[in-house]
Structure 1
């Protein structure tokens, strides 16, 4: 396959990441470049690369001790169907700073089957979870 997954921030291609999130994703449509940069600066980020070009991405918002939130997982369309999202998730779960987390959340409307293979399941007690959600935040 020739895919390498790395958490080295120096390898991340902001043009690829912002381009996908702002233009192709359904969850961050229209997100400004500076918002993506701030989110990445304050997260543990993973890139998937083939021949030096970024083809996938995943971001974990975490305190690296008790909690993590997996976000912004994507594989560019031309590289889908090759197991790259699986490699990204496995790299995330193997990362030394994410071992022993008490709670590791994510939200997905389209990839629940992938994440279920790695132990994610619907909230055990959804009644205790709350959120403040502004779905149009980037379109204002």
Structure 2
């Protein structure tokens, strides 16, 4: 029992990556659903942290937080889909909420850490990428 509890070998790395990938993607989707479903109302109030206009800022946030999150959940083009998500969380944490206290930017930093870990680990075996790249047996 002691060897199992303190072992550094994973029980199942691929299942862990799957849970982290899908869980983070679903939480990001629910976080962004309000922006997508109330687009017109959000357009009037969305911030412009990079000086590119609030409409473009909102569209880029929706692209990353909704559409890239769907790709992340599927594990399709995983590392590529993580790049806009990481950039969005960097902007949210360091630019949009720069003057806010830490609890206001904590969620952005938590998502950023998860996305960095997934970028480094890859999508895992239980993903579309993993199935497309598995060795073929003929």
Larger Rg, first or second structure (1 or 2): 2
Return the TM-score normalized by structure 1: 0.34
Instruction: For CA contacts below 8 A with separation 6 or more, give which structure has more relative contact order.
Output: 2
Q: Which has the higher helix share?
A: 2
Return the TM-score normalized by structure 2: 0.34
Q: Which has the higher strand share?
A: 1
